[in-house]
Amino acid sequence: MMTKLTRSLALLTLASVPALAATVAPSDFGPNVLIFNPSIPPATIQSQIDKVYATQRRNEFGPERNAILFTPGDYTVDIPIGFYTEVLGLGSSPDRVHITGNVHSDAASRNNNATTTFWRAAENFSVAPTGGTMQWAVSQAAPFRRMHIQGDIVLNQNKGWASGGWMSDSLIDGNVDSGTQQQWISRNSEWHSWTGSNWNMVFVGVPNPPEGEWPKPPYTKIAKTPVVREKPFLQVDPAGNYSVHVPSLSTNSSGITWHTATTPGKAIPIAQFYIAHPNRDNASTINAQLAKGKNLLLTPGIYDLAEAIRVTRPNTVVMGLGFATLHPINGTAAMITADADGIIIAGLLFDAGPTTSPVLLQIGSNKSTVSHSKNPISLHDVFFRVGGAGAGSAVINLEINSNETIVDHTWIWRADHGAGVGWTSNTSANGLVVNGDNVIIYGLFVEHHQQFQVLWNGNAGRTYFYQSEIPYDPPDQPSFTSAPGTNGWASYKVADTVADHEAWGLGIYSVFRNPDVVLTRAIEVPASQNVRFHDMITVALGKLGEIENVINNTGGSTSITPRVTPKVTNFP
């Protein structure tokens, strides 16, 4: 835990760093990226931030995308963070960029309801919050990474509902109040204290988790993070040189990576990246640059793709800013990677197009026998959407064929509201299909697909945190039947051929909109002592239907009246 003395020294060091004069990067990041430095008058900064928020506050399915970047220094400014907005500090550690003011995410729906507060991010800066408490009322696809909050943080708005979120590599000097959050995952983070619980709170590699054990309070705690690579981040040095810092792989870790002010890893100069723009680039121009050995930085916007982006070179870094969105328009994949060491995909939204794609993101073309344990492929803050912003369809959203792949936060969503939404409109069979062995996932959110939300075929997989709503809209039971005598499709399916699998902290919910539709079981696994699940809950929301069992034939049924939320601590 960072002490007051350490923080004071960090701020003293920060004060000695000369302000950067440049307000644009040496390579053009385009009109959707704002870059601020401490020499700019606060009123000017505030005015530009307010213009972004005026568009993005209610812009749930709009086309605008924004990134707001701060070079190292001190700022006094209020930052509301709306849809498709990523706010980033450009320092080597969060304490190099210090914001004094009201940095906040507000509930996007009425009555303080944050269950649709999606697609926004705060990364790599410190905040002295107005009034001592920062409000971060969010649900899915809202990364909170490498942050230092010099006070408290609350994860809801005035006790209104919120539905799951992500925190990693962050330090909270005071208290974290999860309040009405249904589920939450915190990985490699530190705080003075934590209050709040609801259905399932998961702590991985957290040195000071709250007291108590599942199921009352519903805390799932894993002391060490077995293996992870933190998400790459953009940084700038005092001379104005931009680079992307790629953190090192770590094993059996606990707490934040930047106690010594820097995160172990390597810096890749921005000159080694091709900087793509949505109004200029397509899959052909991007693939040509990747073939030349460039890494890829996608500036904010929507990229219509007539063919798949192909990432073939080992150690290629593909990174999006401001929720850069890949939109296949001809029924192809949006991106396909080779089965190669060290490929990193970070900060992208994959949005299905009107012609059905067989897959949106494919990691490795075939199930491989190659081991990547020394330098795994990793995915960070990759999000998927089928429908909502318009017509969209995909068979599989994310398919992982490469062994030892690490997924570090994903939300894979078939839309339940918005445009182009309906049982026969935004079709999608599976959110995630895993064929590779030894795949590990932290923060797995998968919702509303029409068959298995997750189908895990590879051996020795591990999942830390799972949140899922099964589809709202099956029109009747015959349309939602996976096998004779089995109603519906289990949310989380481990294939019968799998010999080894383990998962911790799972919540699966139903919100059926049509009568006489039920789900036989939320989780379906082979009978094996090496297929183990821990800390599971099922909940029926709304007034129709039920989930009859939590896992296989164990756990019992959900109920609306009286409210019954079955829990299973260990299986088998």
Tell me the C-alpha distance between 106 and 78, whole Å.
13
Q: Are 506 and 524 in contact (CB under 8 A)?
A: no
Start-to-end C-alpha separation, the chain:
37
| Residue 364 identity (one-letter amino acid) | G
Question: What DSSP character marks residue 388?
Answer: B
Question: What DSSP character marks residue 417?
Answer: S
Place of tokens 């909270």: 172
Helix (H/G/I), strand (E/B), else coil: 24: coil
- Out of 64, 404, 469, 524, pick the active-site residue: 469
- Please give the structure tokens belonging to residue 429: 């069979």
Q: Are 99 and 125 in contact (CB under 8 A)?
A: yes
Question: What DSSP character marks residue 272?
Answer: G
Please compute, for residue 166, the number of CA atoms within 13 A of its CA located in the half-sphere on the CB side. 32
| Residue 275 identity (one-letter amino acid) | I
The total of other beta-carbon atoms located within 10 Å of residue 179's CB is 19
The total of other beta-carbon atoms located within 10 Å of residue 390's CB is 18
The total of other beta-carbon atoms located within 10 Å of residue 211's CB is 9
Tell me the C-alpha distance between 118 and 244, whole Å.
26
Between strands 440-447 and 406-414, the pairing is: parallel
Q: Are 278 and 297 in contact (CB under 8 A)?
A: no
Q: Are 234 and 269 in contact (CB under 8 A)?
A: no
Strand 219-222's sheet: what is its strand order? 33-36, 66-70, 85-89, 120-123, 144-145, 166-168, 183-187, 200-204, 219-222
Please compute, for residue 190, the number of CA atoms within 13 A of its CA located in the half-sphere on the CB side. 16
What DSSP element (H or E) covers 454? Answer: strand 454-456
Query: In whole angstroms, how large is the CA radius of gyration of the chain?
Result: 22
What DSSP element (H or E) covers 266? Answer: strand 265-269
Q: Are 470 and 540 in contact (CB under 8 A)?
A: no
What DSSP element (H or E) covers 433? Answer: strand 430-434
Tell me the C-alpha distance between 1 and 5, whole Å.
11
The verdict on whether 213 is a catalytic residue reads no
Chain mean position to CA 436: 21
Q: Are 168 and 148 in contact (CB under 8 A)?
A: no
In 3D, which of 16, 136, 105, 122 has the Cα closest to residue 70?
122
Q: Are 244 and 319 in contact (CB under 8 A)?
A: yes
Q: What residues are annotated to the active site?
A: 469
